[in-house]
Chain A
Amino acid sequence: MTKEKSRGNILSKFGTVIALILLCVILAILTPNFLKVSNLMNVLKQTAVNAIIATGMLVCLITGGIDLSVGANAVTVTCLIGLLHTRGVSNVFVLVAAALACGTFIGYINGSLLTKLRLPHPFVSTLGMKNILAGVALLLVNSKMVSGFGPGISWLGSASLFTSGSFPGVPASFLLVIIVFVLMQIFLTKTPLGRSIYSVGGNREAARLSGINSDNVLTFAYTLSGFMCAIAGIILIGRGGIANGANAIQPYDTDAIAACIIGGASFAGGKGDMKGTMIGSLIIAVLRNGLTLLAASGAIQNVVIGSVIILAVYIDVVRERLEAERLRLASK
């Protein structure tokens, strides 16, 4: 029994790592360009936005919720920066402060819709928010594409550190991802609020009756998600060099959910961690990068990513069922 269990644990713990390695091996065979250092650094750069968004998404998923407004939120933040840019604001601190305030506030509203207005499920409120923001983003930039941002605000999304000789350097954005992941890991496992997030997701009522303010925990989760979107928005400015409201409907949300679910989070809540989410984000980034290298069209990319999401959710379902079965047998 214990042996079986530990084998199951090892599989579910390292299954995603194995999948990532397999994926890399296959791509390395199919296209020699994949393993080039410059391309690998590119993958890391491409990982950054999704990984940061997935961090916030994970916290929402752990509480048993979801945040569908993440992509629209991040793009709204870029458009706000775009608006300020066109109005002649160039001070990096002002831009960053405005961006963080905007994304965080949107997240706070998402949380309040759930806990104050008591909307039934965050699926509804954040889906509504996604649509609102898709409009707001366009309104902010008057439906025009803004470009020509200064080096300051573009630095995070475009710069690379530790460049030397032929080594292109590690993207600053990915270093930030590592910092955020380490901090989040400590937050989730070593602080009362972090543990409370898991408890609220595992059993909201039991947490409440144990003295945890479930409503505050939930509001915090969505606010944190909004904050992460703001960071992602800043990275987007540097990476693309543009603010384009039309991007608000890009599938950032599904990419982030996929990263979390692949990494072991569950729609039922109470589960998931940063390590898994990191692997999940890398899998998504490697897939997109590999498909681009293989000259697959955007259409094909969508089909593949979509299939991976369904597969990941199916794995989650199977995992839940096996877990339930194990509990049933254990209680006998």
Chain B
Amino acid sequence: MSEYVIELKNVTKRFPGVVALRDMKIQVKPGEIHGLIGENGAGKSTLIKVMTGVHQADEGEIYIDGQKVSFANPKESSEAGVACVYQELNIDRLMNVTDNVFMNKWIKGSSGLLDYAEMDRRTKEVLTEIGQDLDPNEITGKLGMGQQQMIEIAKAILIDSKVIIMDEPSSSLGEKEVEQLFKVCRRLKEQGIAIIYVSHKLEELFELCDCVTVMRDGEYIWTKPIEEVTNDSLVSAMVGRSLDNQFPKEFGERGRCALKIENLSQVGRVDDVSFEAYEGEILGFSGLVGAGRTETMLALFGSDPIDGGKVYVYDEEVNFKSPREAIEKGLALLTEDRKGQGLVLGQSVKSNLILSSLREFTEGGLFLQEDKIEKTCHENVDALKIKTPTIEETTAKLSGGNQQKVVIGKWLNTDADIYIFDEPTRGIDVGAKVEVYNIMNNLVKQGKCVIMVSSEMPEILGMSDRVVVMREGRITATIERDSKHFNQESIMQAAWGGSLDD
């Protein structure tokens, strides 16, 4: 018998173009609540997926109770006793509690038909074990998020899991529900079940965990008992990377205030957000994934209704009811989700390039002028260096970087004044990234206003003239480029809920 219920040694996982995990290790004892933290993109999700058999490691070993194992798929890992409660719950909201708990593990009676009496009894039993008083016949969709999560945990217990991985379990829970979750975690601990607790909330780690492992850029940094760490030591362990100068930052001249937001709110997502963005500047938006940055941008762009607050474009108060109205006022929003929200993948490069400015290409608003369209599209392809055989090529066939350039081209063709780029370099290769940065530089030099939402710290520091940091829907800091706080540590402090002194 090994000391550890699950142990990973020297695990490396590569994806095309990136190393997601490099020589990663983690050791978890039975009955231990083990915190796992790292920046956005540090490799936590990949690590979880390797442990649950969703991904297979390219190198390295996994041990369960000292036995070397390899998981070809999630089924094998769950049979070995590793379960995961994902952030997005795997609950069929239309079915009842028992159906969810016993999905694909049905108990059959002597008749060969499903034995619901037995399954209900077992469900009740497992739920009682974790202190939940739920009716097994309740439809899960009617339950709160906290209770739905308990059903996921119940599923894990039912299959006798030894390790339960919880990925940001508190992110969609209210205060009471989080307390309940902690109680359950401690109960599981008493039963000798190990928990790997992934969270963005440091205070939770201090309250709940026995020890914590920090990872950064896909690598293991250290594991320490929770008594030996502080807020500051965790943050500096997460960021301690050197910034190489891969950012061709050029400076524009700060002009008029192009966009002013006052007390913008959207219940549960955006909380009293105020900021100003100027011509000739890149305003960076930093924060953890889920901090409300994308929601803020979608709300001010008229995509989602707001519950309060004011938006001014060049000192004129506006109230956008649709993206169309925002576009007419000179806004452009390059969305975070390129494939779902940015492109019509099945259509040609040409169609996508003119998607936002169809009316600009008409004669008297009626018929499209094909020659004008083709001329503009060829100019776009040349100026943005879009690699495509022809402008008639289906957009889905382009690489990520070239697809992104098509989206950028679409917005450049609207001749907007205010460009919002939400994660503009996500999922594209380094060369294309630099080209995207140069496009932003050009916009700024033309006196346009640029807002860049980015979860990559080096990008924020490399390209922003000013940084707004958000956490849980609120702005926690606004930092000028020449401020002493314009560094990784301060931004991370603000993003993780710490406060900055002056």
Partner of A327, one of B354, B358, B365, B396: B396
| A206 and B359 form a contact (CB under 8 A) | no
Asked if B15 is an interface residue, CB under 8 A from chain A, the answer is no
- Which of B326, B358, B365, B367 has most chain A Cβ within 10 Å? B358
How far, in whole Å, are A198 and B347 apart by their CA atoms in the complex? 8
Nearest CB in chain A to that of B340: its residue: A205
Asked if A213 is an interface residue, CB under 8 A from chain B, the answer is yes
Partner of B359, one of A192, A198, A199, A202: A192
Residues in B with CB closer than 8 Å to A202 are 344-347
Residues in B with CB closer than 8 Å to A186 are 367
| A210 and B356 form a contact (CB under 8 A) | yes
Asked if A164 is an interface residue, CB under 8 A from chain B, the answer is no
How far, in whole Å, are A271 and B351 apart by their CA atoms in the complex? 13
Shortest beta-carbon distance, B387 to chain A, in Å?
Answer: 13
| A205 and B341 form a contact (CB under 8 A) | yes
| B346 and A271 form a contact (CB under 8 A) | yes
Shortest beta-carbon distance, A132 to chain B, in Å?
Answer: 28
Shortest beta-carbon distance, A308 to chain B, in Å?
Answer: 26
| A210 and B303 form a contact (CB under 8 A) | no
Asked if A297 is an interface residue, CB under 8 A from chain B, the answer is no
Known: A192-B359, A210-B410. Is A199-B344 also a contact (CB below 8 A)?
yes
| A270 and B344 form a contact (CB under 8 A) | yes
Residues in B with CB closer than 8 Å to A2 are 389
How far, in whole Å, are A191 and B354 apart by their CA atoms in the complex? 12
| A198 and B351 form a contact (CB under 8 A) | yes
Residues in A with CB closer than 8 Å to B397 are 327, 330-331
Asked if B342 is an interface residue, CB under 8 A from chain A, the answer is yes
| B358 and A192 form a contact (CB under 8 A) | yes
A122-151 CB contacts (< 8 Å) to partner B: none
| A191 and B367 form a contact (CB under 8 A) | yes
How far, in whole Å, are A198 and B303 apart by their CA atoms in the complex? 21
Residues in A with CB closer than 8 Å to B344 are 198-199, 202-203, 206-207, 270
B308-360 CB contacts (< 8 Å) to partner A: 322-324, 326-328, 333, 335, 340-347, 351, 354-356, 358-359
Asked if B430 is an interface residue, CB under 8 A from chain A, the answer is no
Shortest beta-carbon distance, A161 to chain B, in Å?
Answer: 29
Asked if B45 is an interface residue, CB under 8 A from chain A, the answer is no
How far, in whole Å, are A64 and B394 apart by their CA atoms in the complex? 19
Asked if B229 is an interface residue, CB under 8 A from chain A, the answer is no
Known: A202-B344, A327-B396, A330-B397. Is A207-B368 also a contact (CB below 8 A)?
no
Asked if A219 is an interface residue, CB under 8 A from chain B, the answer is no
Known: A203-B344, A213-B322. Is A190-B396 also a contact (CB below 8 A)?
no
Residues in B with CB closer than 8 Å to A208 are 303, 322-323
Asked if A209 is an interface residue, CB under 8 A from chain B, the answer is yes
Asked if A212 is an interface residue, CB under 8 A from chain B, the answer is yes
Residues in A with CB closer than 8 Å to B362 are 191-192
How far, in whole Å, are A205 and B333 apart by their CA atoms in the complex? 13
Asked if A211 is an interface residue, CB under 8 A from chain B, the answer is yes
Main secondary structure of the interface of B (DSSP, over half): mixed
How far, in whole Å, are A206 and B396 apart by their CA atoms in the complex? 14
| B347 and A209 form a contact (CB under 8 A) | no
| A207 and B355 form a contact (CB under 8 A) | yes
| B340 and A191 form a contact (CB under 8 A) | no
Asked if B366 is an interface residue, CB under 8 A from chain A, the answer is yes
| A196 and B333 form a contact (CB under 8 A) | no
Shortest beta-carbon distance, A166 to chain B, in Å?
Answer: 43
- Which of B327, B347, B368, B370 has most chain A Cβ within 10 Å? B347
Asked if A195 is an interface residue, CB under 8 A from chain B, the answer is yes
How far, in whole Å, are A198 and B344 apart by their CA atoms in the complex? 9
Residues in A with CB closer than 8 Å to B324 are 211-213
How far, in whole Å, are A196 and B355 apart by their CA atoms in the complex? 8
Residues in A with CB closer than 8 Å to B322 are 208, 211, 213
Shortest beta-carbon distance, B7 to chain A, in Å?
Answer: 35
How far, in whole Å, are A211 and B303 apart by their CA atoms in the complex? 10
Known: A212-B324, A213-B324. Is A199-B351 also a contact (CB below 8 A)?
yes
Residues in A with CB closer than 8 Å to B343 are 203, 206
- Which of B323, B326, B335 has most chain A Cβ within 10 Å? B323
Nearest CB in chain A to that of B342: its residue: A206
Nearest CB in chain A to that of B335: its residue: A209
Residues in B with CB closer than 8 Å to A331 are 396-397, 399
Known: A327-B396, A327-B397. Is A211-B367 also a contact (CB below 8 A)?
no
| A196 and B341 form a contact (CB under 8 A) | no
Shortest beta-carbon distance, A331 to chain B, in Å?
Answer: 7
How far, in whole Å, are A327 and B341 apart by their CA atoms in the complex? 19
B383-404 CB contacts (< 8 Å) to partner A: 389, 394, 396-397, 399
| A195 and B323 form a contact (CB under 8 A) | no
How far, in whole Å, are A271 and B159 apart by their CA atoms in the complex? 47
How far, in whole Å, are A203 and B410 apart by their CA atoms in the complex? 15
Known: A192-B362, A327-B397, A330-B397. Is A211-B341 also a contact (CB below 8 A)?
no
Partner of B323, one of A192, A210, A270, A271: A210
Shortest beta-carbon distance, B333 to chain A, in Å?
Answer: 7
Residues in A with CB closer than 8 Å to B396 are 327, 330-331
Partner of B303, one of A191, A196, A199, A209: A209
Nearest CB in chain B to that of A215: its residue: B322
Shortest beta-carbon distance, A62 to chain B, in Å?
Answer: 11
Nearest CB in chain B to that of A203: its residue: B344
Residues in A with CB closer than 8 Å to B361 are 192
Residues in A with CB closer than 8 Å to B410 are 210
How far, in whole Å, are A43 and B344 apart by their CA atoms in the complex? 39
A201-247 CB contacts (< 8 Å) to partner B: 202-203, 205-213
Shortest beta-carbon distance, A53 to chain B, in Å?
Answer: 26
Nearest CB in chain A to that of B396: its residue: A327
Using A202-B346, A213-B322 as known contacts, list a sample of 17 further A-B pairs with CB atoms less than 8 Å apart, ordered by residue number in A: A191-B367, A192-B365, A192-B368, A195-B358, A195-B368, A198-B344, A198-B351, A199-B347, A202-B347, A203-B344, A203-B346, A209-B323, A209-B342, A210-B355, A211-B322, A331-B397, A331-B399
Interface residues of B (CB under 8 A from A): 301, 303, 322-324, 326-328, 333, 335, 340-347, 351, 354-356, 358-359, 361-362, 365-368, 370, 389, 394, 396-397, 399, 410, 414
List of 5 A-B pairs having minimum Cβ-Cβ separation, nearest first:
A202-B344, A192-B358, A211-B327, A211-B324, A210-B356
